[in-house]
Amino acid sequence: MPKQIPEVAVVQHKRLSISIWLIPIVALLISLWLAYQYFAQLGPEITIEFESSAGLKAKQSQIKFRDVTIGTIKKISLKDGDKGVIITARINKDAQQLINENAKFWIVKPKIDKTGISGLETLVSGSYIELHSSKSDKFKKHFIGLEEPYLDEENINGKYFNLNAPNSYDIEQGSLVYCRNVEVGEVKQVKLSKNGDMVEFEIFVKDPYEKFINAQTQFFYMSNFKIDLSKSRLDMSLASSTQIIYGGIAFSTPSKQIHSYPINDDHIFPLFASEGEANTKRIGYNTKDIKTFQMRFAQNLAKLEISSPIKFDNFQIGHVVNIESSFNAEKGEMESEILADIDISVFNHDLNNSLEKGLIAQLAQSNPLLDSLYIELVYDKNNSYNIVSARPYDVFPTKSVTFEDMGAKIKTLLNSITVMIEGSQQPIQNILKNLNKTIKSTNAIISGSGLKKLPKQISKSLVEFEATLKTTRELVSSNSKMSDDISESMKEVNKASRALERVLRKIDQKPNLLIFGD
């Protein structure tokens, strides 16, 4: 019999082939599902420009919103053709609605300045990017980062005001604003004006304190140390530690005028160097009507200072902005040019009419003892003047004046006192002679018959009075010790007056001697 060949079960081979391919297919499906899940959870990719990376690290530093991580920095690259860096970051999908036109980014890093200490947590965790935003469906991909933390003032009621001054007075961004020593706001910005001749300040005053500011409000720099000699006493005060650290601006408004004199949004207030300067009598001084003039004087202005007042009829209407002096070799004298800001609204905006009537500028002494100067506008009714057009500033007419030497006046007074003291011995002798006559007259009255009729007690009192007068005569006679003492005292006064004369002579030669010493 032929051998039987076993048959191969074909069905079993098909099942084995299917089972072999099923595993990789399932694995592929799972991988695709996981990949879908991963990419489905990814949020958008954005770019942010900063001036520097400030310690940020790729694939490590994070983006946070209200201390919650919402993204990670993927790459840090240099900006092409310009200074700065570009941060590429991946945002979580659940935070995608925060990435819109309202988003503000800034780098949080350790910082110590006059406003305080911030970002200390980054010493351990490293720098990160902070986000401030609100939800919106308008997605934005590229942003310009902020170099300073964003301040959310949309929910803070208040108002912004603009100030200017010839000096910053060491006021910086973050300095505080006070009203009657109560903190009411903050300095938001300090910058130079476009032409560089003034410093501009932008301050924010919180509600409800902004209603206390009107056209009559005076802003001034709060000094850390103040001396008040008014009210016949000496008052000294030291500012609080907060003010010393942060610095500050204060303002005051007459209480009866708080709800009067409204201002426009573009109104600019002058910032004065001190409260005393702010309280100086002034008219006008509206910054919109202030015009800069050039003034020329053929004399030395060494004792005129920048910010010195410009007055009209004892009211301040401006101040000195700049002073330049030079020696003219041909004329053999000093020549000076100053820049002065004057509020022309004082003259009803018709300065030319006032000049035609004789208005002119001249120097005046504010303190004759120290020879400090200021500029005064006066009327010379015998002449007529006009503005000379020039660039960059028109020239205001001026005239030179001479001042009497106060030191010479004091010296003359001291000489008169010395002569009087040296010649005082003869008047003393005359006084003694008159005293002798008085004593003789008293003796005559006492020895008279009329006096004897008075009661014995009165007679006794007069006799005692006579004895007293005689004793006084003996004490003040020319040969007595008292006369010598008076003469010696007069000599000491004479010496003291001569010493004072020498001191005043030194002060005349060096006016700042009392401040800086010899």
Q: Reply yes or no on whether the pLDDT at 479 is more than 60.
A: no
pLDDT reported for residue 293: 92
pTM of the prediction? 0.50
* Percent of all residues in the chain with a pLDDT value above 70, rounded to a whole number: 64
Q: Say if residue 392 is preceded by a cis peptide, omega within 30 of 0.
A: yes
Beta strands 199-206; 182-192: pairing state:
antiparallel
* Calpha distance 7→59 (Å, rounded): 64
- Domain ranges within the chain, ordered by starting residue: 45-144, 158-278, 287-403, 408-509
Element (H, E) at 458: helix 456-476
Give CA 280 to chain center in angstroms.
16
pLDDT reported for residue 254: 81
pLDDT reported for residue 485: 63
pLDDT reported for residue 409: 58
> What mean pLDDT do residues 425-443 have?
63
pLDDT reported for residue 251: 92
Least confident residue range of 133-142, 188-197, 244-253, 388-397 = 244-253
CA-based nearest residue to 131, from 97, 92, 104, 98:
104
Phi and psi of 175, rounded to 5°?
A: -65, 155
> What mean pLDDT do residues 441-462 have?
56
Q: Reply yes or no on whether the pLDDT at 219 is more than 50.
A: yes
Q: Which residue has the higher pLDDT, 408 or 278?
A: 278
* Percent of all residues in the chain with a pLDDT value above 90, rounded to a whole number: 14
Whether 431 and 486 have beta carbons less than 8 Å apart is answered as no
- What's the mean per-residue pLDDT of the chain? 76
pLDDT reported for residue 202: 93
pLDDT reported for residue 381: 84
pLDDT reported for residue 391: 84
Q: What is the pLDDT of residues 107-154, one digit of tens each?
A: 988 776 655 566 667 777 788 999 998 888 888 899 999 988 887 766
Least confident residue range of 38-42, 219-223, 248-252 = 38-42
pLDDT reported for residue 93: 85
pLDDT reported for residue 204: 92
Q: Which residue has the higher pLDDT, 511 or 436?
A: 436
Q: Reply yes or no on whether the pLDDT at 34 is more than 50.
A: yes
Q: What is the pLDDT of residues 483-494, one digit of tens each?
A: 566 666 666 766
Q: What is the pLDDT of residues 383-401, one digit of tens each?
A: 889 888 888 889 999 988 8
Q: What is the pLDDT of residues 79-106, one digit of tens each?
A: 877 688 999 999 988 888 889 988 999 9
pLDDT reported for residue 395: 92
Least confident residue range of 42-51, 71-80, 362-371, 426-435 = 426-435
Amino acid occupying residue 290:
I
Using CB atoms within 10 Å of the CB of residue 171, give its burial: 0 to 12 exposed, 13 to 18 middle, 19+ buried.
buried
Beta strands 309-312; 182-192: pairing state:
unpaired
Q: Reply yes or no on whether the pLDDT at 411 is more than 70.
A: no
Whether 505 and 411 have beta carbons less than 8 Å apart is answered as yes
Q: Which of 40-44, 110-114, 441-445 has the highest mean pLDDT?
A: 40-44
> What mean pLDDT do residues 198-214 have?
90
Whether 169 and 273 have beta carbons less than 8 Å apart is answered as yes
CA-based nearest residue to 57, from 149, 127, 143:
127
Residue at token pair 């008292």: 482
Residue at token pair 């919109």: 288
* Calpha distance 139→98 (Å, rounded): 8
Amino acid occupying residue 219:
F
Q: Which residue has the higher pLDDT, 148 or 224?
A: 148
Give 454's pLDDT tier (boundaries 50, 70, 90): very low
pLDDT reported for residue 461: 61
Give 330's pLDDT tier (boundaries 50, 70, 90): confident
* Calpha distance 135→228 (Å, rounded): 56
| Encoded tokens for 240 | 């609080």
